[in-house]
Structures are given as structure tokens and as C-alpha cells.
Amino acid sequence: MTDTKTYKAKQLADLTGVTVRTLHHYDSIGLLPARRGPNGYREYGEADLERLREVLLWRGLGTPLAAIARYVHATGELRREALETQRTLLVAQARVVGDQLEALEQMEVQERWGDTEAYRVSQRRAASRTPEQWRQIREEGRRLEVDMAALMQRGHTPTATEALELAEQMRLHIDRWFYPCSHAMHGQLAEMYMTDGRFRDHYEALSPGLAGFVAAAIVENQRSNR
């Protein structure tokens, strides 16, 4: 299929966040060859845009350019192996990010509520968990985040019944695994998700706008349960 839309190098750079100089380099090494328009300027099509996005995903995983070139040009079984490799790396990266976020939440909780019974409960519970329980906690938390992102992407508002139900499940997840989490305390956590850049970046990386969506759903769930 022939591309129906073309992009100049500057347009492609603006769409993907790379520099024009980077595009020129990718062209020179054959990673993302550009066509030349009638005026001699580099031009790219939709297929090039998709390939560049794949290249940037590999780069985000720390993959060298030489290896990326093999992956994006691969076909058949090699292509499937490349995609499986990418999936494995992404899963490992998600696990690391999840562990980092969990540690960050514990640090924030200690700073805000370290002298409370809730914090002491969380410490006792954490000390008795098995590796399998930690895995379950991570998977449950990630599923709730993904489900909330899917709601937002389908056009639901944070006050929709489905969003409030997920917000309540998030609260119960904390209450079950970490410390007694009242609706009022959950509302304080929602504020932290918006004001602390590390939490905000975590949600925004999953889906732009998700931090505000989750916080608003939690606050509305708190309001409706007063």
C-alpha cells in the first residue's frame, strides 16, 4: 500500500519528539531512509512514522542502533522473535517501575503518616508477605490502573459509575494489602498523585491525562461516600 500522507522532517520530528538532526542520522545509516521530494527535501510517509515510533520504543529500552536496525527490518520468524524480545523487555521494565512506585508510596506514607497506627499496620503486613503475595499485589494494582485508563480512553468521565467503582476498588486494594484506608485518606492520596511529580509521571506514562482522571474519580468517590 502506498502512503497517502507525507511529512517533512520537521513535521515528523514534532510528532515524535526527536530532533531533525536525529532523523538525518537515521537516514544516513539506513535505519529510517527518507525519500526526496521535488525540492530535494526529505519526505516521510505513514509507514515511516510507525517505524520511527518502533525505533524510539527500542531506544527507550536501551537497545543499540545496530540491533534496532536488525529488529525493524526483520521479517517472518525473526520478526516474531524481535517482538517477543521487546515484550519481554517491556514486562521487565514495567516490573521495575512498579517496584519503584511501590517503594515511593511507602516513603510518602512514612513521611506523612509515620507516627500513625495506619503506618504501623502497613509495616507489619509488609513484613509477613510472601513473594507470591507481592506479585499478586503488583498485578492487581496494575490491572486497576489499566482498567481506569481504558475507561478514560473510551470517553467516560471521572464521575461515571464505572470510574467510581474502580476508584473504590483502588481504595480497597490499599486497605487490604497495606493499611486501613478510609475514603478521607484515599482523598489525601489523590491529592498526592497530582502534586507529586513522580506519581503524576507514573500515571501520565500509562495514558496522558490519567493522573487527573484517577484523582478526580477518587475525590468523587470520597464525596459520594460521606
Mean per-residue pLDDT, 16-31? 91
Give pLDDT, residue 1. Answer: 43
Class of domain 92-224: mainly alpha
pLDDT of residue 173: 93
Query: According to the model, what pLDDT value does residue 39 have?
Result: 84
Average model confidence (pLDDT) for the chain?
82
Across residues 141-159, what is the average pLDDT? 92
Comparison of pLDDT for 112 and 224, the residue scoring more: 224
Q: In the numeric block, which cell numbers belong to residue 49?
A: 512514522
Extents of the domains making up the chain: 6-58, 92-224
Q: Contact at 8 Å (CB) between 168 and 190? A: no
User: What's the mean pLDDT in 36-42?
Assistant: 86
Residue 158 — very low, low, confident or very high, per pLDDT cuts 50/70/90? very high
CA distance 203 to 41: 39
24-38 pLDDT tens trace:
999 999 999 999 988
Note the pTM of the prediction, 2 decimals: 0.50
Domain 6-58 CATH (choose: 3.40.50.150, 3.40.190.150, 1.10.1660.10, 3.30.43.10): 1.10.1660.10
